[in-house]
Amino acid sequence: MKVLIVGSGGREHALAWKCAQAARVDEVLVAPGNPGTAAEPKVRNVEVAADDIAGLVRLAQTEEVDLTIIGPEAPLVAGVVDSFRQRGLKCFGPTRKPAQLEGSKAFSKEFLKRHGIPSAAYATFTRDNFDPSYVQKQRTPIVVKASGLAAGKGVVIVDSIAEAISTARAMFDGQFGEAGEQVVIEEFLEGEEASFIVMADGKNILPFASSQDHKRRDDGDHGPNTGGMGAYSPAPVVTPAMHARIMKQVIEPTIRGLEKDGMPYTGFLYAGIMVAPDGTPNVLEFNCRLGDPETQPILMRLQSDLTELCEAALDGRLDRMKAKWDPRAAVGVVLAAGGYPDTVRKGDVIDGLDAAAKLGGKVFQAGTAFDEQGQIVTNGGRVLCAVGLGDNVREAQREAYVIADAIHWSGIQYRRDIGYRAIERERAAARAGK
Ligand code: AMP
């Protein structure tokens, strides 16, 4: 069996690594991949860009690919799955219409409201109908979001009404390009965040292990927002009772609602949840694909064959599948380039990858490249993700940092506290148990 993974980040490295482990998989192609995927057994990089839909279709046809899994959101929102399906090619991910859950926050807020799924109160504006008096009536802090895809940068939390109005205007003026043609202004929600990821086949739902990422750059969840500085699985905030509640109040009505609306959802669905102090699971956002870096610790724990799960979903028989998880916890620490999330320096030689590979766990590559001498150098903001496993989050964190500390380049930065909320819960549970 031949599998194609589309994308080039840490998530795609983890997907390619996981798929290549299946005995029935002969080869995994990654378009375009990175030096990390190039080094995996059974894996081959192919120079086709993740947003070159025609090129991807051609690749799948000429290489006789049996299953394609799409990593990033942009090709999904642009309709890559529709193009594959039209040619009878198996491609795991949502089609263009339901992918709007991520592609348009205006669409997703309207969908949530219509189907009675808990989420922040909001209003949507364009430049032409923007009503500052609506904003003046709201409380602060308040959240201003560019509706379209903005590479994780289109959400701004502000402390004053004046700032909210000027932020919305900057979005209308093109700060995030077309993504800011519509702007969602919503209530600020308090609580603890959790990521909830499932596979869906249009009707049936297979929940994945819980996880949580850290979006802020600095320790203690301070500093600027980033694409994610680390993640862990499981997330103790998602207790069995909370799991059941999120399934019932969020995931099931979403999959049912999309089916009813004539756009059945097949693919990974990621709900970013804010668990309110009263336990209400409010939806912050939907992603129509796996999260990065959550995928790296989650797939470290997945013991089932991911290709079998994807094929079952494409055949509409997810109800007969079960995912088997390693009971151990996994913690992934993102090693970022200096300056991230602003402009970063590229081309610094990465030392210690060979030593790190001998320390257990796994290092997934993201923003890396080969230089002219064939050395692996930095080539982006989030460069690597070091994942450790352990009997609990504390132990997994310890292993992740042993690996991270073995790696170095000029300007490297990473948080020292990934998983701290889960570790606090583990400590509290241990104290309560004594
Ligand atoms: P999003 O891309 O919509 O998930 O937003 C990115 C991050 O901004 C989330 O992970 C939250 O930390 C934060 N955020 C988004 N919406 C809200 C909200 N309504 N209240 C509080 N924080 C929010």
Per-residue pLDDT of the chain (434 residues; tens, 9 = 90+): 999 999 999 999 999 999 999 999 999 999 999 999 999 999 999 999 999 999 999 999 999 999 999 999 999 999 999 999 999 999 999 999 999 999 999 999 999 999 999 999 999 999 999 999 999 999 999 999 999 998 878 899 999 999 999 999 999 998 998 999 999 999 999 998 889 999 999 999 999 999 999 999 999 999 988 989 999 999 988 999 999 999 999 999 999 999 999 999 999 999 999 999 999 999 999 999 999 999 999 999 999 999 999 999 999 999 999 999 999 999 999 999 999 999 999 999 999 999 999 999 999 999 999 999 999 999 999 999 999 999 999 999 999 999 999 999 999 999 999 999 999 999 998 898 86
Q: Ligand 1: which residue has its CA nearest to atom 8?
A: 155
Closest CA to 144 of 172, 117, 119, 116: 172
**Beta strands at 2-7 and 222-225: parallel, antiparallel or unpaired:** unpaired
Q: Is the Cβ atom of 215 under 6 angstroms away from ligand 1?
A: yes
pLDDT at 108: 98
Q: In one letter, which amino acid is 53?
A: I
Q: Is the Cβ atom of 323 under 6 angstroms away from ligand 1?
A: no
pLDDT at 319: 97
Q: Ligand 1: which residue has its CA nearest to atom 9?
A: 284
pLDDT at 364: 98
pLDDT at 92: 98
368 and 346 in contact (C-beta within 8 Å)? no
pLDDT at 434: 64
- What's the CA gap between 91 and 76, in Å, rounded? 10
pLDDT at 151: 80
Q: Candidates 119, 222, 274, 289: which one to mutate for ligand 1, based on the most atoms within 8 Å of Cβ?
A: 274
pTM of the full predicted structure? 0.95
